[in-house]
């Protein structure tokens, strides 16, 4: 078997973790010394086509690896196509969600789909409760404590968590300053994150409400 090493480049494509792990496992058996965990599918494809298998077993592994690469390519194409269509739909809706730091294309679509008509919530507190971002007070002697709510729409909660984590790690965002301020007040990182998620939920609801009102006004004047 030819002594070739797969380049250790950052992974630049998407695919199911289990499929990427399968490819990684096969490549470790094919290339001497194994490979790094982070690799690009196309780099692996290039090395696989150059590989000269010396045994029938390696030839089979090479074939399997190339088939997995093909599967990853098809999945990546499907993801890119779906993302493009989502972007088109979001642009047509006129939503301003994407202007909120941490809200990407897919996250915005998930938030809109799971929220539906924002006016079905009486206020932002009702929306926070629905998303599971409203803190739940728990008894702890004379000390007032709150814990994370485990109720609500977990898919929506997950999307809000992604936004909050992104903001907390982005110094240029308001969420970062808010998270740091809560930490300075003596809250733990997890407590500060819960507070930030509540703020994110508030901004999301207000933004979707504003989008809905703008769409209604546009429809009336059309």
The whole-model pTM stands at 0.71
From residue 154, alpha-carbon distances to 73, 100, 132, 158 in Å are 30, 21, 7, 6
- What pLDDT score was predicted for residue 6? 34
- What pLDDT score was predicted for residue 95? 94
Q: φ, ψ for residue 35 (rounded to 5)?
A: -135, 165
Stretch (H or E) spanning 77 = helix 56-93
Domain residues of the chain, as ranges?
A: 17-85, 94-221
- What pLDDT score was predicted for residue 154? 93
- What pLDDT score was predicted for residue 149? 58
Calculate Rg over the CA atoms of the chain.
24
Cα 19 from chain centroid? 18
> DSSP assignment, residue 123?
S
pLDDT tens for the chain, 222 residues: list them: 333 333 333 334 446 788 888 888 898 889 877 667 677 888 888 889 888 888 999 999 999 999 999 999 999 899 889 989 999 999 988 999 999 999 999 999 999 999 999 999 999 999 999 999 987 665 555 555 555 556 789 999 999 999 999 999 999 999 999 999 999 999 999 999 999 999 999 999 999 999 999 988 888 886
Contacts of residue 182, Cβ cutoff 8 Å, sequence gap at least 6:
191, 192, 195, 196
From residue 138, alpha-carbon distances to 143, 183, 185 in Å are 9, 21, 20
- What pLDDT score was predicted for residue 34? 64
Q: Please calculate the CA angle 88-92-97 and round it to the nearest 5 degrees.
A: 90
Q: What is the 3-state secondary structure (H, E, C) of 170-191?
A: CCCCHHHHHHHHHHHCCCCHHH
- What pLDDT score was predicted for residue 13? 47
């Amino acid at each position: 078997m030819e002594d070739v090493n797969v380049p250790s480049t950052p992974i630049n494509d998407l695919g199911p973790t289990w499929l990427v792990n399968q490819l990684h496992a096969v490549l470790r058996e094919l290339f001497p010394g194994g490979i790094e965990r982070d690799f690009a599918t196309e780099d692996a494809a290039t090395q696989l086509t150059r590989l000269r298998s010396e045994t029938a077993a390696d030839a089979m592994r090479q074939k399997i690896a190339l088939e997995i690469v093909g599967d990853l390519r098809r999945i990546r194409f499907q993801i890119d196509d779906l993302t493009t269509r989502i972007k088109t739909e979001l642009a047509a809706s006129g939503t301003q969600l994407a202007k909120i730091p941490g809200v990407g294309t897919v996250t915005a679509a998930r938030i809109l789909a799971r929220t539906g008509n924002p006016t079905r919530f009486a206020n932002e507190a009702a929306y926070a409760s629905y998303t599971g971002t409203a803190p739940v007070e728990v008894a702890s002697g004379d000390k007032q404590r709150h814990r994370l709510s485990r109720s609500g729409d977990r898919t929506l909660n997950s999307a809000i968590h992604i936004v909050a984590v992104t903001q907390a790690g982005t110094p240029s965002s308001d969420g970062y300053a808010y998270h740091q301020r809560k930490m300075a007040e003596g809250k733990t990182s997890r407590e500060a994150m819960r507070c930030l998620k509540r703020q994110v939920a508030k901004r999301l609801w207000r933004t979707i409400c504003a989008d809905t009102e703008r769409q209604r006004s546009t429809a009336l004047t059309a």
